[in-house]
């Protein structure tokens, strides 16, 4: 009885904090924040990233992916890359996406830049941070163009999973994983998860047409680039599947493993923090970081790649 009671409490908390993330994406961008981002009126150098790269959200997604299938989690990005300024400006005005054929040259220009700042460092807004030691485990800013969309790989993913509390006997078996994901034709919930897993792991070597994992972006079927958590993005819809998480675990026979994921890792903390981050990111679901120098002080000499 004690185990069942604990599971009910933790799952209820998970549903509460995760469901709290859902409407956050649908709120409009605060005009004052947009004005500040475009004009730089805050007096500080801001560098924009897709919200899925913010530490608590990245860790939440990583934990559920690794729990489900370590090979899939190993395809998550090892580095984060600032959005080209033109892409950032376009997405602020068009949260549902900007035509990739118009944005492609800005990504190419950034990738072709061989003079990336080696000392570039950015600090997330307090609402998009997590606590130490977890914060230090988050993907660093890339230092070389070859690192753009570079996947974690099996070894780094295994080390990160261990650091976050995942144990081998907590991972779903192939049968349990297939029960969650299903096979074509999948039901709507399974299809949302399937597409979202692809979007989160759209790194080099994953067979996607245009990898965008290091940007926290997605290329949708209409050919538009948008944030993974922008309005109508598959991963935003996939959030709703978590409202059925207990039911799915019971149907597929891994209730005990789910209980352990919730109790033995910081995932509930990350979900709660991630909800705050998404809630402050506006409709475009983009986070602004502050550029800092080697002494941790705000700096104007660290411009985002263009």
| The predicted structure's pLDDT at residue 293 | 61
- Summarised one tens digit per residue, pLDDT across range 124-163 is 999 999 999 999 999 999 988 899 999 999 999 999 999 9
| The predicted structure's pLDDT at residue 36 | 39
Q: Is the pLDDT of residue 203 over 70?
A: yes
- Summarised one tens digit per residue, pLDDT across range 22-31 is 444 343 434 3
Share of the chain above pLDDT 70, in %: 79
* Better-predicted residue by pLDDT, 220 or 34: 220
Mean pLDDT of all residues belonging to the chain: 82
- Summarised one tens digit per residue, pLDDT across range 84-99 is 999 999 999 999 999 9
Residue 21's pLDDT band, with cuts at 50, 70 and 90, is very low
Residue 217's pLDDT band, with cuts at 50, 70 and 90, is very high
The string of DSSP letters for the chain reads -HHHHHHHHHHHHHHHHHHTTTGGGGSPPPHHHHHHHHH-TTSS-EEEEEGGGSHHHHHHHHHHHHHH-HHHHTTSBSSB-PPPHHHHHHHHH-TT-EEHHHHHHHHHHHHH-----TT-EEEE-GGG---TTTGGGSPPBPSSGGGTT-B-HHHHHHHHHHHTT--GGGSPPHHHHHHHH--SSPPHHHHHHHHHHHHHT--TTS--SS--GGGTEEE-TTSEEEETTSTT-HHHHHHGGGGGHHHHHHHHT-HHHHHHHHHHSSHHHHHHHHHHHHHTSTTTTEEEEEEE-TTS-B-SS-PPP-
- Summarised one tens digit per residue, pLDDT across range 253-289 is 999 999 999 999 999 999 999 989 988 999 999 999 9
Which residues are CB-neighbours of 73 under 8 A, at least 6 positions away?
Answer: 62, 65, 66, 152, 157, 161, 201
Domain locations along the chain: 2-292
* Better-predicted residue by pLDDT, 209 or 273: 273
Share of the chain above pLDDT 90, in %: 56
Query: What pTM value is reported for the model?
Result: 0.84
């Amino acid at each position: 009885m004690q185990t069942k009671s604990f599971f009910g409490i933790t799952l209820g908390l998970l549903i509460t904090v995760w469901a709290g993330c859902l409407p956050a994406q649908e709120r409009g961008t605060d005009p004052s924040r947009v004005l500040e981002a475009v004009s730089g009126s805050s007096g500080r150098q801001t560098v924009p990233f897709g919200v899925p790269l913010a530490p608590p959200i990245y860790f939440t997604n990583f934990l559920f992916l690794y729990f489900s299938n370590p090979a899939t989690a190993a395809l998550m990005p090892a580095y984060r890359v600032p959005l080209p300024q033109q892409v950032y400006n376009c997405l602020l005005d068009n949260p549902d996406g900007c035509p990739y054929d118009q944005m492609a040259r800005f990504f190419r220009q950034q990738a072709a830049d061989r003079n990336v700042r080696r000392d570039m460092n950015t600090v997330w807004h307090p609402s998009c941070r997590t606590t130490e030691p977890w914060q230090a485990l988050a993907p660093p800013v890339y230092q070389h163009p070859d690192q753009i969309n570079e996947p974690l790989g099996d070894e780094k993913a295994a080390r990160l999973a261990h650091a976050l509390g995942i144990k081998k006997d907590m991972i779903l078996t192939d049968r349990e994983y297939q029960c969650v994901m299903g096979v074509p034709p999948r039901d709507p919930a399974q299809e949302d998860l399937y597409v979202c897993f692809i979007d989160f792991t759209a790194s080099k070597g994953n067979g996607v047409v245009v990898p965008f994992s290091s940007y926290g972006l997605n290329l949708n079927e209409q050919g538009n680039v948008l944030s993974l958590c922008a309005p109508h993005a598959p991963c935003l819809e996939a959030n709703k599947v978590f409202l059925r998480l207990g039911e799915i675990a019971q149907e597929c026979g891994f209730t005990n493993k789910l209980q352990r994921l919730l109790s033995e890792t910081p995932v509930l903390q990350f979900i709660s923090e991630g909800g705050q981050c998404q809630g402050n990111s506006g409709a475009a679901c983009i986070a602004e970081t502050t550029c800092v120098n080697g002494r941790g002080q705000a700096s104007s000499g660290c411009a985002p790649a263009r």
